Amino acid sequence: MLKSLIVWFGLAAGILQAQNHLTATAAQRYFNTVRRNLEASADAMPADKYGYRLTSGQMTFDQWLNHSNQRNYSDCAVLKGEPVSELEKKAATLKEKDEVTKALKDSFAYCADALKGIDDQKVISSASMSNALLHLVVHNNEIYGNVVGYLRMSGIVPPSTAGREAKKGK
């Protein structure tokens, strides 16, 4: 029984250590990737396609980007320990490419700043901190997955695919 308990605690400590590493370090890497992909998608889509929707039941391209913008401010306010910015509410009203793209990039810059101030201990200090960090990465990847369809239907190679193709050509 004692041996089993010692082994269990050893495994639990190892798992917690691995989770801590994944929480802050890997999440930062994935954040940077999805940030590049969404910002490049915003730049690549022509202005006249910002109101485009794949089907009548889906959001428009600009609404997807605005949704990312809003959630970035919400999640990163938690990471910073601040109230949610008024810019989160303003995002829903943006329609034009220039304003949507700038707002998206500003929200990602806000999050990059928030991520500078976190470490493993801070992230695991509360469920809301852990959830905000994971949601930041996972949710933006889900949004990027949707945005890819809009780009492809508009004849644009998505940034993540274009990056892989560029590496093959070298």
Q: Report the CATH number at residue 127.
A: 1.20.120.450
Structure confidence at residue 166 (pLDDT):
58
Structure confidence at residue 3 (pLDDT):
56
First to last CA, the chain: 58
pTM above 0.85, yes or no: no
Residue 2, domain member (yes or no)? no
Domain housing 76 = 21-169
Residue 90, domain member (yes or no)? yes
Residue 162, domain member (yes or no)? yes
Residue 102, domain member (yes or no)? yes
Residue 9, domain member (yes or no)? no
Residue 73 to residue 91: CA distance in whole angstroms: 10
Structure confidence at residue 118 (pLDDT):
87
pLDDT at 22 over 70: no
Residues near 129 by Cβ (< 8 Å), separated by ≥ 6? 78, 79, 118, 122, 123
C-beta of residue 39 within 8 angstroms of C-beta of residue 105: yes
For the segment 118-159, what is each residue's pLDDT rounded down to a tens digit?
Answer: 888 888 888 999 899 989 999 999 999 999 999 999 999 999
- What is the tally of structural domains in the chain? 1
For the segment 30-70, what is each residue's pLDDT rounded down to a tens digit?
Answer: 999 999 999 999 999 999 999 999 999 999 999 999 999 99
Which of 78, 48, 54 has the alpha carbon at shortest distance from 139? Answer: 78
4-18, 79-93, 103-117, range with the lowest pLDDT: 4-18
Residue 95, domain member (yes or no)? yes
